[in-house]
Amino acid sequence: MAEAVSACEGLARAASAEAPPDAALRLTAFEELYQRHLRQIYRVAYRLTGNHDDAEDLAQEALLEAFRAFDRYRPGTYFHRWVFRIMTRTYIDRLRRRARRPEVSLDAPAGPEGESRLGLLGDSRDDPQYLTETGGLDGTVQAALDRLPPEFRTVVVLADIEGLSYDEIAAVVGCPVGTVRSRLHRGREALRNALRPYLQGGRAE
Amino acid sequence: MNAHVTDRLSAYLDGALPARELESVRAHLAACGTCLRAYEELGALKALLGGLPDPVPPPGLAERIRWRLLRQAARPQAGAWTGSVPRGLRLVVACAAGVLVLLLPLGWIGGQRSPREAPLDTDAYFRDYLVLAADHPLADEVTPALLTGEGVVQDPALR
């Protein structure tokens, strides 16, 4: 660990010594921003992927991509929403890539309830690690989220866990507000059916 | 009794329904137990999702991200700050390699030597290297480092 830390510092020195000053500033500015928002960024990554391994991969990939594109970030706007936009795109792209080059046969049936294959591929219910990671109500809710098609899961997470408005979600996901509304409706309906026993006696307001 | 309003309850719950639809949904909810129950369940669902505990990030996550950012920042051709200079120089290298390739047979002919007899010295090695580098300029991390003198951090295990 000490070695890793000193190597890290060595790299930091190398980066700041060899880079022009604005590069060092760029890195510092980026670090300050992402560290302040890491909790939210990780929360979305975790709720999208459903397990810590994939969540860390996704968060790392999105932040590296964000750093590469940092020149396009407009200071003063919400940094975490900008990262969400990169992260949701990374996430969907990754599932599509996996769907194009699947590890299991494409001839396998597309699921008992006719879910899209994309939705099934985002499903980590059977991951043994996942079962040990989450238990109780949290695990039950996450399992229901995992069963949603990724496009629905994304808007539900952004709306109900992150508290974003329809307009904000539309900007993050890059689709019309009407699409956000219908995906949210369908995603919540699926969750309402899956989690009904836990919703009885709940008050709407 | 009007038709059920299930498809608008979600937006109604979020206060995102256009004003003209608001009243009809409200009136329907006052009269329809099925839709009212669905509405209450949606509200409970929203509360349930909003109340989920924050996942605890794995230990060392921030350090691992920092490490990768530093690696990326230290890599000249990936950073925006080295910009067009190495790219321009790479083009020069590619052109130089092209010229070398074109001139090579002339040298053989002029010297009355068969290719087999071409000297296997460091020049030949460097020529071959330049040809390879020109074929794959982006994959070659050494090229910009050689040209700009900037250090390249290479860790095969992490690539």
To 5 degrees, how large is the angle CA A141–CA A147–CA A148?
A: 100
pLDDT value at A73 more than 70: yes
Tell me the CATH architecture of domain A19-199. Up-down Bundle (1.20)
State how far residue A108 is from chain B, nearest Cα, in angstroms: 33
Residue A2, pLDDT score: 47
Q: Which residues of A touch B16 (CB under 8 A)?
A: 165-166, 181
Q: Which of B15, B4, B36 is nearest to A159 (CA)?
A: B15
In this structure, the number of other CB atoms found within 10 A of the CB of residue B111 comes to 11
State how far residue A64 is from chain B, nearest Cα, in angstroms: 6
Q: Which of B111, B93, B89 is nearest to B101 (CA)?
A: B93
Cβ(B36)–Cβ(B29) below 8 Å: yes
Nearest-by-Cβ selection for A56 from B53, B61, B72: B61
Residue A204, pLDDT score: 41
**B121 within a domain of the structure (yes/no):** yes
**B142 within a domain of the structure (yes/no):** yes
To 5 degrees, how large is the angle CA A174–CA A179–CA A184?
A: 105
Q: What's the mean pLDDT in B123-139?
A: 59
User: Do A18 and B69 count as a contact with CB atoms less than 8 A apart?
Assistant: no
**B87 within a domain of the structure (yes/no):** yes
Residue B75, pLDDT score: 73
Q: Does A4 touch chain B (CB under 8 A)?
A: yes
**Interface test mutation site (partner A, options B12, B40, B42, B70, max chain A beta carbons within 10 A):** B70
User: Do A181 and B10 count as a contact with CB atoms less than 8 A apart?
Assistant: yes
**B66 within a domain of the structure (yes/no):** no
* A115: Cβ contacts below 8 Å, ≥ 6 apart: A147, A149
In this structure, the number of other CB atoms found within 10 A of the CB of residue A123 comes to 17
**B158 within a domain of the structure (yes/no):** no
Q: Write the pLDDT tens digit of every residue in A166-205.
A: 999 999 999 999 999 999 999 999 999 999 999 986 444 4
**Interface test mutation site (partner A, options B8, B10, B159, max chain A beta carbons within 10 A):** B10
Same domain, B106 and B42: no
Same domain, B36 and B79: no
Q: Write the pLDDT tens digit of every residue in A105-158.
A: 444 445 444 444 444 444 444 444 444 455 789 999 999 999 999 999 999 999
How far CA B70 is from CA of A32, A79, A85, A130, A146, in Å, comes to 14, 20, 23, 31, 33
Q: Does B6 touch chain A (CB under 8 A)?
A: yes
pLDDT value at B79 more than 90: no
For residue B39, the chain A residue with the least C-alpha distance is: A204
**What number of CA atoms fall less than 13 Å from residue B144's CA on the CB side?**
23
Same domain, B81 and B122: yes
Same domain, B80 and B138: yes
- Number of folded domains in chain B? 2
* Residue-number span of the structural domain to which B33 is assigned: 6-50
Same domain, B26 and B89: no
Residue A100, pLDDT score: 79
Reported ipTM: the value is 0.74
Q: Does B95 touch chain A (CB under 8 A)?
A: no
Q: Which residue has the tokens 């309906």?
A: A189
**B143 within a domain of the structure (yes/no):** yes
Domain map (residue ranges) of chain A: 19-199
Cβ(B49)–Cβ(A160) below 8 Å: yes
Residue B35, pLDDT score: 96
**B112 within a domain of the structure (yes/no):** yes
**B67 within a domain of the structure (yes/no):** no
